[in-house]
């Protein structure tokens, strides 16, 4: 790796590829191309604009926006000034925006449009360090607002008017950046208390992108269809920086709702996603006759697809096997925000279903005596922003304590058992790994999502989100009603039917591990309700706390 930092990476790729397409993005429903040269030029204009606003090396600039082409450009603009950016998840509430922008002491913020800007305006009295806002779309500014508010075009116009001296300053700023300098602060979605700001350096992100790229086996002409939020570390490293290091095209999906149409329009060779997406696709396909399932899956992802990759949460084994059986390699990996993120990944040339693959280059993995996964290497974060105590808890002698429990086989393939903090013990003293039971539960076609409960209890229960389409068909067969009370399905026949299906899949585990009772929810877990993370991973402890009273009633 010859690039010293992320600015070197992007500028070098842009200089080499020039007029070739870097990004594809939708404008008024039609995909348009952005060349590498234009990509870099816009980033430079925005960077000079930021310097004209007084941004210094070491400052923090927030980005509060849904995915869009300007997100990528703004990121590179911030980095070229020597500053670090603070990406915020678009669904955050005002109070969460207030905390993260205030805690990181941001001097400026990019916003998508009015909705995100209003969150900032509502919190401005509590953000003394915030001086300016740049909006990608036209917005209205409240009367009396003291914030300097610019449009995206106005920021770039400041860059155009700055002249050669300002452009020279960009070169000086980039030359002064050290590999260990802070590039970003990403706040983790905490289940209790305030989230922690993970500090990642240029070298953290660059080394991880390059090492992961080596096992992605990408070719010139490959196209990634990208839709995961860039505020999350998975898409940030893989969809953003890895694709630059591998010199391939990124096509931005318009939204999750348009993803199927975007697949048809782009016909990508690669798609990154989270397990929930692959599960939902498979749950729709598996209702087809077995002889048609493989063809339908392949048709959906298009004729050019070479690989699908999954990260951010555990991938159910039965889902992975179904995709492979259809001739679609679905490759699972593993990592954390604190590890930039990739620790291990399966690849087209080295894959073992049921594992998250082997460690990538320069990354060490070992299993502690209590089963916890530890990792060491250039991917390990600088620490938590303004929280040395929390940093000392998770980084010891250079090893990052992941908080996950797992095993390494003789060939170095890593398997994840559970989150260490999610393991619990029944009143009979049985140790339970809930994620293993949840993976078993969702293997049943009638179950879409599951959260297991039972710490200190004499048996295990679960919250179940059923496959509504299939269960409504069962209602007709059983001759009962679809009745709901306070968010739960109450029909006794329906509950008994679902428990009988649970009993069947639970035969794969011992008696003390079996789910003996369940509650059926009438809707999926929701991102807006805080039940899912940005990558649609179930927030188990949040959900259990929310429904604790109803779960406790099962034991009365």
Q: Report the interhelical angle of 164-176 vs 69-80 (nearest 10°).
A: 80
How far, in Å, CA of 425 to CA of 432, rounded?
6
Count Cα neighbours of 318 within 13 Å in the Cβ-side half-sphere.
16
Three-class DSSP category at 273: strand
Residue with tokens 């990739």: 342
How far, in Å, CA of 171 to CA of 181, rounded?
16
Three-class DSSP category at 84: strand
Beta bridge partners of 272: 309
List where CATH 3.40.50.12780 sits in the chain: 206-420
List where CATH 3.40.50.980 sits in the chain: 37-177
How far, in Å, CA of 166 to CA of 398, rounded?
40
Beta bridge partners of 495: none
Cβ neighbours around 328 below 10 Å, total:
19
CB-based contact 358:214 (threshold 8 Å) = no
Helices (H), 308-433: 317-325, 388-394
CATH classification (class only), 206-420:
alpha beta
Residue with tokens 């599960």: 279
pTM for the model: 0.87
CB-based contact 67:230 (threshold 8 Å) = yes
- For the record, the structure tokens of 45 come out as 């204009």
CB-based contact 423:456 (threshold 8 Å) = no
The DSSP code sequence of 130-184 is --EEEESS-----TT--SEEEEHHHHHHHHHHH-HHHHHHHHHHHHH--TTSEEE
For the chain (556 residues), the mean pLDDT of every run of 10, in chain order, is 92 98 95 98 97 97 98 98 97 92 98 98 97 98 95 96 84 97 89 82 98 97 96 96 98 92 96 90 88 95 97 88 96 97 98 97 97 97 97 97 95 92 77 87 93 91 94 89 92 93 91 92 89 83 92 90
Nearest to 77 by CA among 103, 53, 101: 53
CB-based contact 402:356 (threshold 8 Å) = no
How far, in Å, CA of 314 to CA of 312, rounded?
7
Cβ neighbours around 289 below 10 Å, total:
7
Return the CATH number of the domain spanning residue range 37-177.
3.40.50.980
How far, in Å, CA of 530 to CA of 532, rounded?
6
Strands (E), 364-421: 364-367, 372-376, 383-384, 395-396, 399-408, 414-419
- Label residue 455 exposed, middle or buried (CB < 10 Å: 0-12, 13-18, 19+): middle
- For the record, the structure tokens of 214 come out as 């080596």
- With vertex at residue 259, the alpha carbon angle to CA 97 and CA 344, rounded to the nearest 5 degrees, is 70
pLDDT (0 to 100) of residue 193:
66
List where CATH 3.30.300.30 sits in the chain: 423-553
Domain 423-553, what fold? GMP Synthetase; Chain A, domain 3 (3.30.300)
Residue 338 DSSP code: G
Q: If DSSP states are collapsed to H, E and C, what string results for 469-504?
A: HHHHHHHHHHCCCCCEECCEECCHHHHHHHHHHHHH
Nearest to 69 by CA among 102, 107, 35, 118: 35
CB-based contact 228:535 (threshold 8 Å) = yes
pLDDT (0 to 100) of residue 191:
45
Three-class DSSP category at 471: helix
Task: Region of 267 please: left (phi>0), alpha (psi -120 to 50) or beta.
Answer: left
pLDDT (0 to 100) of residue 527:
84
Residues in contact with 396: Cβ distance below 8 Å, sequence separation at least 6, in sequence order: none
How far, in Å, CA of 364 to CA of 487, rounded?
46
Query: What is the chain's Cα-based Rg?
Result: 24
- For the record, the structure tokens of 452 come out as 């297991």
């Amino acid at each position: 790796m010859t690039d010293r930092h992320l600015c070197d990476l992007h500028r070098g790729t842009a200089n080499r590829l020039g007029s070739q397409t870097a990004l594809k993005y939708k404008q008024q429903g039609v995909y348009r191309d952005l060349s590498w040269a234009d990509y870099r030029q816009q980033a430079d204009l925005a960077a000079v604009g930021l310097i004209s606003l007084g941004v210094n090396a070491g400052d923090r600039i927030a980005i509060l926006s849904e995915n869009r082409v300007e997100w990528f450009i703004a990121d590179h603009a911030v980095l070229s000034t020597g500053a670090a950016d603070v990406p915020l998840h678009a669904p955050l509430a005002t109070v969460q925006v207030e905390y993260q922008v205030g805690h990181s002491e941001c001097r400026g913020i990019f916003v998508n449009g009015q909705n995100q800007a209003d969150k900032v305006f509502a919190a401005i009295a509590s953000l003394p360090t915030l001086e300016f806002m740049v909006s990608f779309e036209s917005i209205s500014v409240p009367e009396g607002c003291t914030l300097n508010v610019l449009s995206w075009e106005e920021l770039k116009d400041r860059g155009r008017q700055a002249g050669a001296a300002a452009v020279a300053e960009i070169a000086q700023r980039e030359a002064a950046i050290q590999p260990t300098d802070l590039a970003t602060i990403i706040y983790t979605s905490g289940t209790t208390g305030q989230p922690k700001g993970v500090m990642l350096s240029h070298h953290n992100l660059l080394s991880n992108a390059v090492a992961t790229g080596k096992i992605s086996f990408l070719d010139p002409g490959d196209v990634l269809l990208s839709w995961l939020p860039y505020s999350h570390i998975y898409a940030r490293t893989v969809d953003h920086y890895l694709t630059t290091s591998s010199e391939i095209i990124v096509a931005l999906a318009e939204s999750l709702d348009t993803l199927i149409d975007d697949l048809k329009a782009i016909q990508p060779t690669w798609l990154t996603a989270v397990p929930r997406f692959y599960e939902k696709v498979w749950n729709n396909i598996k209702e087809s006759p077995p002889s048609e399932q493989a063809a339908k899956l392949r048709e959906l992802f298009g004729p050019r697809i070479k690989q699908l990759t999954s990260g951010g949460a555990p991938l159910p084994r039965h889902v992975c096997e179904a995709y492979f059986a259809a001739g679609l390699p679905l490759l699972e990996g593993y990592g954390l925000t604190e590890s930039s993120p990739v620790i291990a990944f399966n690849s087209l040339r080295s894959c073992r279903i049921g594992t998250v693959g082997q460690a990538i280059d320069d990354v060490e993995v070992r299993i502690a005596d209590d089963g916890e996964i530890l990792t060491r290497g250039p991917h390990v974060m600088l620490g938590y922003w303004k929280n040395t105590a929390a940093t000392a808890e998770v980084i010891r002698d250079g090893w990052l304590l992941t908080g996950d429990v797992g095993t390494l086989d003789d060939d170095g393939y890593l398997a994840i058992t559970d989150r260490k903090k999610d393991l619990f013990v029944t009143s009979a003293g049985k140790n339970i790994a809930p994620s293993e039971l949840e993976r078993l539960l969702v293997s049943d076609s009638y179950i879409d999502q599951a959260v297991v409960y039972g710490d200190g209890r004499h048996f295990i229960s679960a919250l179940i989100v059923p496959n509504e389409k299939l269960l409504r068909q069962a209602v007709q067969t059983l001759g009962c009603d679809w009745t709901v009370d306070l968010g739960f399905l109450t029909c006794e026949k329906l509950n008994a039917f679902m428990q009988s299906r649970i009993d069947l899949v639970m035969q794969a585990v011992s008696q003390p591990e079996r789910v003996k009772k369940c509650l059926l929810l009438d809707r999926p877990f929701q991102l807006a309700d805080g039940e899912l993370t940005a990558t649609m991973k179930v927030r188990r402890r949040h959900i259990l706390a929310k429904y604790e009273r109803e779960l406790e009633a099962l034991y009365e």
